[in-house]
Chain A
Amino acid sequence: MALSEHETKIYDRQLRLWGVGGQQRIKESHLLVIGLTAVNLEACKNLILAGVKVTLWDNRAAQEEDLGYNYFLRQDDINQQKRLDVASQPRLQELNPLSTVALYRGAGCDDSPWCLFEDGPAVDWQKFLEPYTIVCVANELVALQALVPLDEACRQFDKGFFATLCCGKLAFFVFDLKTLFIEKVTTFDESEKPKKTDKTNTATANFPPIAHTIKCKLGSLKRRSSSLFPAYLLLARWQATHGTHNRERGEIGNASTRVAECDNFVAFAKETLREEGGKDVDDDLLRRVYRAFGIPLISVAAVVGGLVAQEVMKSILKERIPFVNVVAFDSDTTTAYYQCIPHSQSAVIEHTVTTDAAMRT
């Protein structure tokens, strides 16, 4: 299946990075996006431009505030109370006519993605996941704990799993590629100047299941690492027991009782940290995460949606080493951290193979 002349013209600049073989892999990949949040839309935009096939699934009705981050919507869509996926699809498709942007039409329970993650009839995950290579879910709308069965199915059927969360000036994502073998580690340092080397590097990235990430004892996190990681886990645990009160808008609690709930969350966090021997986390950070839960901010979504897309591309191209497995961005320090949770010595194993054949000419 050769690339058409038109494709080589459109993709010219990226072909110079990952070659025709890479573009072929991209063409064969298929992302299912559940929940069109700010971060997920940014990731979608980047991946559609690169040539990834994307299927959208979000049955919520478009509202005025969605216009604040979803630039694929128009006022008319709001007036007509269209579904978010239906309303966003045409303009996402326009981004790249060479790719396909589809709407989910599957054998899910009725037409809502959310019931997949609730108690109900068992889902035939194999059938459900069959068309896709990667699934990306909005963590604002579904608690991480509720995503465990999907993650396990993704591991079983060899699909990539991503869950993203925007909390105002902070954002997070966790992903699970189970085992990613990188056939030839490419640094792309100086893209046009082949390095003379007698080494070929391969690497293996080993991802923990999401269930292990959520359960990870806070005391076992690296002590010198960013406090964003314990804050993220605490949020996930809280979300697991308290649910997502307003799924429609991805809020963690009721607006009216949020201040009081925020105090409860801080108390819960402190108690849990004590029990599990975690290092202290600033009240201020805990409040920030809690209060801003689900609030989209385009500057942050652009950065983190870009980082998500970058890791998705790694899972497709298998040429660069992924940032296993939780990523946290704080716009106050303009810094994005990553950490393997739970900590693992074998998160990334690099192998060096010395061969003459690897000499680049």
Chain B
Amino acid sequence: MTSRREAHLKEALGDDLYARVKRSRLLVVGAGGIGCELLKNLVLAGFDDIDIIDLDTIDVSNLNRQFLFRKHHVGQPKSTVAKESVASFSPHTRIQAHLGNIMEPRFACRYFSQFDVVLNALDNAKARSYVNSICIATERPLIESGTTGFKGQVRVIGGDVECYECQVQTNTEQTFAVCTIRSTPDRPEHCVQWAKYLYELMFGDPNDDNLLADLKHELKQEEHSDHNGKLVADRFAENIFNKLFKKDIEQNRELQDMAKNFFRPPPIPLSLDGAMRLTDGNGNIHGANGNASSSSSTTNAGTPAAIAEQKVWSVHECAQKFIGAITTMYNERGDEVGTLQFSKEDPIAVDFVAAASNLRSHNFHIAKKSRWDVQSIAGRIVPAIATTNAIVAGLQTVNLYHVLEQVMLQEKKEEKQAANGTTHTNGVAPHSDDKRSGTQQISLINSKCRNAWLQLWDSKQSKLVIGERLSAPRPDCVACSSPPARVTITDMDWTIGDFVATVIQGALQVKEPVVYFNNDPIWQHQYDDEEDDMDDDNCPEMSLSGRGLYDGCIIDINDLSDWTPVEPTDDNPMGKEYKSFNCVVFADVSVGSCPKGFRIDRPPKFKPPPPTPAPPAAENGSTPTGGVKRPRDEANGEASGLPAAKKGKSDSASSSAAAAAGGGVGEGGESVHDAIMIDDDGDHSYKAAVPAKPHQGEGDTVADAMVVDD
């Protein structure tokens, strides 16, 4: 029965698609800016069964776009509030909200297999890459999305089209030369990065990537304790100040003199006393960023009121804030010291980094930045607005219908084959829990699905949303060229020894296997002649579950008997590249009547040899481009295709222009490249900014990839 509520929907979609929508199960990963819009769209688009996952809680800065949340929800989990909010206007939709990280084992392959389509509303590359890999393993179509500011992008992934990794660039994260952080900063960004390292050093648990790690020991020596052995925070802060901004700078100055570095003015040491006497504080007002930076001379109606955080502190104020942040931290949050990580939402952390970076800027004659700007730089905040998120979530929903139409075609085909008694290719039986009955990969390449870009205005362009046909995957893609093999065993209580002997060596015919789970070897092939003189780390009697394996986990299998020679390196002195493949292990009692029943659902496919390493990212934030994708012209009758020659010409122009542009790093840590495109009006070549892959953004940090925080 269709309610009048969905009468329009049914009319617009047609009966078949409407019926398929009604029995679809969807997974939405992320309940942030795009997630809220997407969830609302899906519910109104007729979908009745949706899971949504987010690990984050609601922050006040979310409220300008994450419209399912209200002020009184601040601090509550996004996923559950989103669910409740949607239930208020669509009580009949079944939504399951999960508070958690998508990368937890409970959401692995077994979990993904229940869904018809997965939709990403994420803000970081690590989680995107993970979801991509699980969707490949479980053959789920994936609709990916991303926004930064006014730009946005949607990509459709699955089956016979490019996956997320097919377009992955070389590391696009902002990188600085070590020396610019440690000794010769010349941009505010260098000082901010230095201050973040310092913050970790003083209040957190710095890892090996911390370029100042050697300082920790020296800072320790500045600690000052009272006769009870209790740290005296203000004295400690004073000592630290004089060490970092005076003594170290004096040393730096000597080194520069010795190096006869005449090209830069010598740094100015600054003592705490000196700083307290200094007042350069004319309270310069800086705008939020580029566009508003001229706001002091703006032509805007009236004088734009600055907010307090946009004032640039004087050296005097910086010193006060620096001392204040350290004493507050030790006196009031002493129990957290040693465990803290920089958070852009932690006011004391931002105070500290703003003060420390500006003091260092003062040392090195670099323009100081407002607390607001430092927060942006340090927190890698991606500006985010409701409109872009809404458009992108809409484009995902449009494509979701296209994907389902394709699923329907596939199902019809498989039904017909079943009716004709045709067996499936490979003779592989369907997985019992699969939402889709068949095992043939879904074909999206000739479907209506489009990768879509939301464009800025461009004089030569006649589209503001560009839908681009999907392309075939890159043959050497590390993620999708060798989808994991799939094995189903009766249960995870099999011993490792049985599993290796029966399944890996037996059915999968790996002669000399080394098996990894979560990068740990759980089985290493032992050669007979080694038994005496080598420790045997294998535990053949241990159960798979005892070793941490779970239903739907992915293992990595190498075969020592099968290798190709490669250039020997320090890491690989033998110069042997072993054949390897991934394998999903499912548990399902129905696969065998005997206790050790199993089934090979998908045979192994070896991983391609590793690509030759790309040249390292250039310094100072610019990155090599390479593999730039651009929206292509759609030859769809309305805009007839261009002559091949012309297209070819523009294509080559594209690659050279992109190479020359040396695309900068977007704030989200991703490149936004300039590329030449072909207009559907004909013969122009023109520049348009084209994101090379979904922006990581949606309003928040991306560099700290573990955080799915928006």
Q: Does A191 contact B (CB under 8 A)?
A: yes
Cβ–Cβ contact B672 & A327, under 8 A: no
B547 at the interface (CB under 8 A from A): no
When the two chains form their complex, are residues A224 and B640 in contact, meaning their CB atoms are under 8 A apart? yes
Minimum distance in angstroms from B180 CB to a CB of chain A: 16
Asked if B298 and A194 sit within 8 Å, CB to CB, the answer is no
Cβ contact of B67, chosen from A9, A17, A95, A184, cutoff 8 A: A95
Within the assembled complex, what's the spacing in Å between the Cα atoms of A9 and B462? 37
The residues of A that contact B8 with a CB separation of less than 8 Å are 65, 68-69, 295-297
Is A204's beta carbon under 8 Å from chain B?
no
* A16 and B10 alpha carbons, distance in the complex (Å): 42
Q: Known contacts A14-B384, A189-B689; is A227 also within 8 Å of B638 by CB? A: yes
Residue in A187, A188, A305 whose beta carbon sits within 8 Å of that of B390 in the complex: A305
B627 proximity list for chain A (CB < 8 A):
none
CB–CB A334/B307 < 8 A = no
Q: Are B287 and A19 in contact (CB under 8 A)?
A: yes
Flag whether A360 is at the interface (Cβ < 8 A). Answer: yes
Tell me, yes or no, whether A46 is within 8 Å of chain B by CB. yes
**Chain B hits for A306, CB < 8 A:** 387-388, 390-391, 394
Which residue on A lies nearest to B309, using beta carbons? A8
Which range holds the interface residue count of chain A?
35 or more
Q: Is the CB of A65 within 8 A of B292?
A: no
Do B291 and A302 touch across chains, with their CB atoms under 8 A apart? no
Complex interface: chain A residues within 8 A of B640 (CB): 224
**Which of A111-119, A130-138, A313-321 binds B?**
A313-321
Mask, A12-50, CB within 8 Å of B = 1, is 111111111110110010000000000000100110011
Q: Which residues of A contact B616 (CB under 8 A)?
A: none
Task: With a 10 A CB-CB cut-off, give which of B9, B154, B457, B464 has the most chain A CB atoms.
Answer: B457
Residues in B with CB closer than 8 Å to A296 are 8
- Among the listed stretches A120-128, A152-160, A336-344, which one makes contact with chain B, having 4 or more residues with CB under 8 Å of it? A336-344
Interface 1/0 per residue, B198-225 and A, CB below 8 Å: 0000000000000000000000000000
Given known A-B contacts A16-B376, A67-B5, A191 and B290 have beta carbons under 8 A apart: yes
A257 at the interface (CB under 8 A from B): no
A169 at the interface (CB under 8 A from B): yes
A188 and B664 contact, Cβ closer than 8 Å, known pairs A19-B292, A306-B387: no
Verify if A11 is at the interface (C-beta below 8 Å from B).
Answer: yes
A192: nearest chain-B partner, CB-CB: B667
Within 8 Å CB of A49, what residues of B? 64-65, 67, 386
- Using A10-B64, A49-B64, A336-B465 as known contacts, say yes or no to A3 and B305 having CB atoms under 8 A apart: yes
Residue on A with the closest CB to B4? A64
A193 sits at the interface (CB 8 A): yes
Residues of chain B within 8 A of A184, CB atoms compared? 291, 294
Report whether B304 and A50 are in contact in the complex, using a CB–CB cutoff of 8 Å: no
Check if B483 is an interface residue, CB within 8 A of chain A: no
The stretch that binds A, out of B250-258, B448-456, B522-530, B598-606, is B448-456
Q: Smallest distance from the beta carbon of B443 to chain A beta carbons, Å? A: 18
Contact yes or no, B680 A68, CB < 8 A: no
- Closest CB-CB distance, A165 to chain B, in whole Å? 14
Residues of chain A in range 293-340 having any CB-CB distance to chain B below 8 Å: 295-307, 309-310, 313, 319-323, 327, 329, 331-339
B1-54 with Cβ < 8 A to chain A: 3-9, 11-13, 37, 40-41, 43-45
Residues in B neighbouring A110, C-beta threshold 8 A: none
Q: Is the CB of A192 within 8 A of B377?
A: yes
**Is A74 engaged at the interface, CB distance under 8 Å to the other chain?**
yes
A22 and B287 alpha carbons, distance in the complex (Å): 11
What's the minimum C-beta distance from A259 to chain B, rounded to whole angstroms? 14
Known A46-B390, A191-B148; contact A334-B452, beta-carbon cutoff 8 A: yes
B707 within 8 Å of A (CB atoms): no
**Complex formed: what's the CA distance from A20 to B9 in Å?**
41
- A332-B448 contact given A24-B300, A45-B386, A295-B8, CB 8 Å threshold: yes
Closest to B636 in A: A333
Q: Is A274 an interface residue (CB 8 A)?
A: no
Contact present for B465 and A303 (CB under 8 Å): yes
How far, in angstroms, from A51 to B467 measured CA to CA in the complex?
31
Q: Does B177 contact A (CB under 8 A)?
A: no
**Chain A residues whose CB sits within 8 angstroms of the CB of B71 once the complex forms:** 97
Pair A22/B289 contact, Cβ less than 8 Å: no
Contacts of A309 in B (CB 8 A): 386-387, 390
Mark out the residues of chain B between 647 and 698 whose CB falls within 8 Å of any chain A CB in the assembled complex: 664-667, 672, 680-682, 689
Q: Does A183 contact B (CB under 8 A)?
A: yes
A174 at the binding interface (Cβ < 8 Å): no
User: Given A9-B61, A24-B304, A224-B640: A323 and B288 within 8 A (CB)?
Assistant: no
Would A300 and B305 be within 8 Å (CB), given that A16-B289, A17-B385, A224-B639 are in contact?
A: no
In the assembled complex, A168 has its CB within 8 A of some CB on chain B: yes
Query: Looking across the interface, which residue of chain A has its beta carbon closest to that of B640?
Result: A224
B566 close to A (CB within 8 Å) = no
A304 to B395: give the CA distance in the assembly, Å.
10
Asked if B60 lies at the interface with its beta carbon under 8 angstroms from chain A, I say yes
Q: Is B626 an interface residue (CB 8 A)?
A: no
> Are B67 and A45 in contact (CB-based, < 8 A)?
yes
Q: How far is the CA of A56 from the CA of B62 in the complex (A)?
A: 25
* Cross-chain contact of B681 among A72, A187, A224 (Cβ < 8 A): A224
With a CB–CB cut-off of 8 A, which chain B residues contact A297?
Answer: 8-9, 12-13, 45
* B367, CB-defined interface residue at 8 Å: yes
The reply to whether the CB of A260 lies closer than 8 angstroms to some CB of chain B is no
B304 engages A335 (CB within 8 Å) = no
Contact among A10, A21, A298, A313 with B298 in the assembled complex (CB-CB below 8 Å): A21
Q: Are the CB atoms of A334 and B381 closer together than 8 Å?
A: no
Which residues on B sit within 8 Å (CB–CB) of A307? Answer: 391, 464-465
Measured between alpha carbons, how far is A347 from B683 in the docked complex, in Å?
Answer: 20
CB neighbours of B266 from chain A (8 A): none
Chain A 180-200: CB-based contact to B (< 8 A → 1; otherwise 0): 000110111111111100000
Residue A107 interfacial (CB < 8 Å): no
Q: Contacting A15 at CB < 8 Å: which of B288, B388, B395? A: B288
Is A16 a contact partner of B383 (Cβ separation < 8 A)?
Answer: yes
Q: Which residues of B contact A20 (CB under 8 A)?
A: 287-288, 292, 295, 304-307, 310
Give the chain B neighbours of A323 by CB distance below 8 A.
Answer: 457, 464
A13/B61 contact (C-beta < 8 A), A191-B289, A191-B667, A360-B293 known: yes
Indicate whether A211 reaches chain B with its CB closer than 8 angstroms: no
Distance in angstroms between the alpha carbons of A25 and B305 in the assembled complex:
12
Residues facing B in A218-244 (CB within 8 A) are 222, 224-228
- In the assembled complex, 5 residue pairs joining A and B whose CB atoms fall closer than 8 Å, in A order, are A2-B305, A9-B60, A19-B304, A49-B386, A298-B394
Nearest 9 interchain pairs by C-beta: A19-B292, A302-B394, A334-B467, A2-B305, A306-B391, A21-B304, A303-B394, A336-B465, A299-B397
Task: Tell me the B residues contacting A by CB distance below 8 Å.
Answer: 3-9, 11-13, 37, 40-41, 43-45, 60-61, 63-65, 67, 70-71, 88-90, 148-151, 154, 287-295, 298-302, 304-310, 367, 376-377, 381-388, 390-391, 393-395, 397-402, 448-450, 452, 456-457, 459, 462-467, 621, 634, 636-640, 664-667, 672, 680-682, 689, 699
